[in-house]
A and B are shown apart, each in its own frame.
Chain A
Amino acid sequence: MKKAAFALAVLSTAAVGSAFAQSSRDYISIVGSSTVYPFATVVAEQFGKATKFKTPKIESTGSGGGIKLFCAGVGVQHPDITNASRAIKKSEIESCAANGVKEIVEVKIGYDGLSVAHAKTGTPMNVSRKELFLALAKDVPNPDGSDTLVANPYQTWKDVNASLPAVKIEVLGPPPTSGTRDAFVELAMEHGCKEFDFIKAMKKADKKAFKAVCHTVREDGAFVEAGENDNLIVQKLEANPSAFGIFGFSFLDQNRDKVEGVAIEGVKPEFETISDGSYPVSRPLFFYVKKAHVGVIPGIKEYLAEFTSTKSMGQEGYLAERGLIPLPGDEYKGVADAVKNLAPMK
């Protein structure tokens, strides 16, 4: 017994030793946003099946985490592509460059709508971004009309605006680590927040204070952090018809028999309204490619070609079927050309 165990130990040590010599990788490694993940995985699978290359490996790390891994350096142990549900920041490009990742190709793949939804059995509503801000922010302008901030006093939607139903404010949403939460705060709340002139004036005077007002979600129980699992939010909405949930459009699209989108400023979240830009809460999705890895890791060029082909990213492509809102015609053309030339960002 002991002898066998000893032999096993030697064998496994040898295995570990041989791993140190690992110097090449024959599959594409992709990290990044959980919002882009459902689309990137579909492309990766198609690519793996249709070509002689291996199926790329895709990790869902969140946009920020993905860019951090991506920017760690050039070499097989670092990812080749990172997905992002927001544009890369200037500071991130700088930290990339500091680690030797100089040429990055940006590919915009389409749009994602953020939907506020309720159970089919709930009451339909039409809210504005200003009302969303008033209902969900931690501090709101004093209801008496003076230019001061008070802790959010609103308990029902009717308190926010007399034309809304007298339903208790209860919104389930993602935690602060999520890109969906970032996007919601930026696109819906900040926009609604800026409609108050004195807060807008703050932006110039004190950007930090402005952000603290517009980006802070209330913590008194009206906003419930429901974790990253959007299926869970859908289930909770079904159980509680008066509650609302915040998630990406693809979840709304897949669960239309259970939940219904809330119209924002009179526009319902639909494929068409997000695509033409009339639905106000939508954001672009991207992925970033490390140019230094193209030609070193097999298949990157072909993967890009698959992703940007009309049969995936086009108006009737299979990504549209999964809930991605495709780029309008001329914008798509620009992206497809840029990918062919692998034009890096400045």
Chain B
Amino acid sequence: MTNPTSPAAPGQSRGERNFARVQAGMKKRRAAETRFRLYGMIAVGLGLSFLLVLMFSIVSKGYSAFLQTYVRLDVPLLEEVIDPEQTRQLDTLRSADYGALVKQNLRDMFPEVTGRRDKFALYNLVSNGAGFDIRDRVLANPDLIGTTLSIWVAADDDVDMLLKGHIERTGPEADRRIKDNQLAWIDKLNAEGRLEKRFNVAFFSNGDSRDPELSGIRGALMGTIFTLIVTLSLSFPLGVAAAVYLEEFAPKNRWTDLIEVNINNLAAVPSIVFGLLGLAVFINFFELPRSAPLVGGLVLTLMTLPTIIIAGRAALKSVPPSIREAALGIGASPMQAMLYHVLPLALPGMLTGTIIGMAQALGETAPLLMIGMVAFIADVPQGIFDPSTALPVQIYLWADSPERAYVERTSAAIMILLAFLALMNTVAVLLRKRFEQRW
């Protein structure tokens, strides 16, 4: 191939002339080859750059949600407010007006603030949840009553956004969420070291909330986990059993052909259809509770079953027939050959298919919409019957909320979802590596 191209001279043999002709076209062919590779590289490069832009925009918007501005308050826990009759009964302690203590404390810090409107603006610097934080401390240790409690409570979402630079300090006052007097108070608190950005524990320990600073991902995460547990525990055994029967034992006739075609079709049915089916069958007919992970799991089972069956059958097909025949040859029954020889070898492939199906289920919102899992649910679900949402639903709900602070929380929730997905895929890869057999 490295021969230099020589011009065709008279007196050359036929072979030499042909060789010269091929040599003349060589350059063009090489160029085409290079171009072809270049197209491929451009495609990969474009794909990668889109992914990078996406990841960058999510991470750059979302990372700040993992930090939250906290305010340090030194709240005197006045007995006359919390428990005027000194009964120390749980109900009294629970229903006391701790918010009033916080307000009193803020007034004491800024005694110059008078007038209803200004006081309101002052109270708005601290989260509505502050009183409940104090309540929890008092309930845990009633001896605190009468002392002064130094506690870090979440700042209001507007203060948080201001300190993170997401809302402007300048511009006409009427258009700003934070007014001039509030700016002055915030600066004073900051100078006293009472404001601090800390790791946002609430984001991981709380359920949904309408106050961005109190909202967390835990409710949605638990909902997703419960839903996936139901899905996995139903779809894996069912999918494997169906795949084994169809691949190994079922007679080849018109019925099994029909079933096979339908399974392939079902894998391509839009997920919202499964949601409608779930609404009609599980909720309206069987009267299972709306919004429960149980129903979500059942619906997603229907959705992932075809994927698992198809992957399972492919895995069974890839087991060499010699293994099956050898087992049968030394006298194993078909079931024994299946259970002890073929299935263990096919299992890694089946697991991969299952985890791909699970990952699909993880990202679904459309079917959950129909069965009421797209809802405001503040309590963290404790089991598969409690009302709950799921991670993608939470992202959707936050993206639709008017408060500015939900923008970063939306991105942060996407990061959690992606991390969860990456974790599941890693497990799949590890399982496959561990059990995979090569021939």
A interface residues (Cβ-Cβ under 8 A, vs B): 1-2, 5-6, 8-9, 11-12, 15-16, 19-20, 22, 25, 27, 29, 37-38, 40-42, 44-46, 48-50, 52, 54-55, 57-60, 77, 120, 228-231, 250-251, 254-257, 316, 318, 321-323
Inter-chain contacts of A316 with B (CB < 8 A) = 116, 120
- A19, A60, A255, A256: the one contacting B288 at CB < 8 Å is A19
Closest 7 CB pairs of A and B: A55-B378, A59-B375, A58-B376, A254-B402, A5-B237, A9-B237, A41-B376
Given A44-B376, A59-B375, 19 other A-B contacts at CB below 8 A?
A2-B343, A15-B294, A19-B288, A19-B294, A29-B387, A50-B95, A52-B94, A55-B377, A57-B387, A59-B372, A60-B374, A120-B175, A230-B400, A231-B399, A254-B403, A257-B171, A257-B176, A316-B116, A321-B124
- A2, A37, A257, A322: the one contacting B168 at CB < 8 Å is A257
A–B Cβ pairs within 8 angstroms, 22 of them: A2-B343, A19-B289, A27-B379, A27-B387, A41-B376, A48-B379, A49-B129, A55-B379, A57-B375, A57-B387, A58-B376, A58-B377, A60-B374, A231-B402, A254-B402, A256-B174, A256-B177, A257-B167, A257-B171, A316-B116, A318-B128, A323-B402
B347 contacts chain A at the CB level, 8 A cutoff: yes
**Chain B residue with the shortest CB-CB distance to A59:** B375
Inter-chain contacts of A229 with B (CB < 8 A) = 399-400
**Chain A residue with the shortest CB-CB distance to B95:** A50
Partner-binding segment picked from B104-112, B181-189, B192-200, B228-236? B228-236
B interface residues (Cβ-Cβ under 8 A, vs A): 94-95, 116, 120, 124, 128-129, 132, 167-168, 171, 174-177, 209-211, 230, 233-234, 236-238, 240, 283, 286-292, 294, 298, 339, 343-344, 347, 372, 374-379, 384-385, 387, 399-404
Given known A-B contacts A22-B385, A57-B387, A316-B120, A9 and B238 have beta carbons under 8 A apart:
yes
* Bound: A254/B234 CA distance, A: 45
**Chain B residue with the shortest CB-CB distance to A11:** B233
- Name the distance in Å between B80's Cβ and chain A's nearest Cβ: 20
- A1, A8, A323: the one contacting B233 at CB < 8 Å is A8
* Bound: A321/B177 CA distance, A: 12
Most buried by B among A1, A12, A59, A251: A12
Given known A-B contacts A2-B339, A257-B171, A77 and B376 have beta carbons under 8 A apart:
no
Contact B399 A20 (CB under 8 A): no
Provide the main secondary structure of the chain A interface.
Answer: helix
Contact B289 A77 (CB under 8 A): yes
Inter-chain contacts of A323 with B (CB < 8 A) = 402
Inter-chain contacts of B339 with A (CB < 8 A) = 2
- Name the distance in Å between A310's Cβ and chain B's nearest Cβ: 14
Inter-chain contacts of A50 with B (CB < 8 A) = 95
Contact B375 A9 (CB under 8 A): no
- Name the distance in Å between A9's Cβ and chain B's nearest Cβ: 4
- A20, A29, A321: the one contacting B286 at CB < 8 Å is A20
Most buried by A among B120, B379, B402: B402
Given known A-B contacts A1-B344, A42-B210, A60-B375, A256 and B287 have beta carbons under 8 A apart:
no
Inter-chain contacts of B209 with A (CB < 8 A) = 45
Given known A-B contacts A12-B234, A57-B375, A250 and B402 have beta carbons under 8 A apart:
yes
**Chain A residue with the shortest CB-CB distance to B406:** A231
* Bound: A19/B288 CA distance, A: 6
- Name the distance in Å between A75's Cβ and chain B's nearest Cβ: 9
- Name the distance in Å between A12's Cβ and chain B's nearest Cβ: 5
Inter-chain contacts of B124 with A (CB < 8 A) = 321
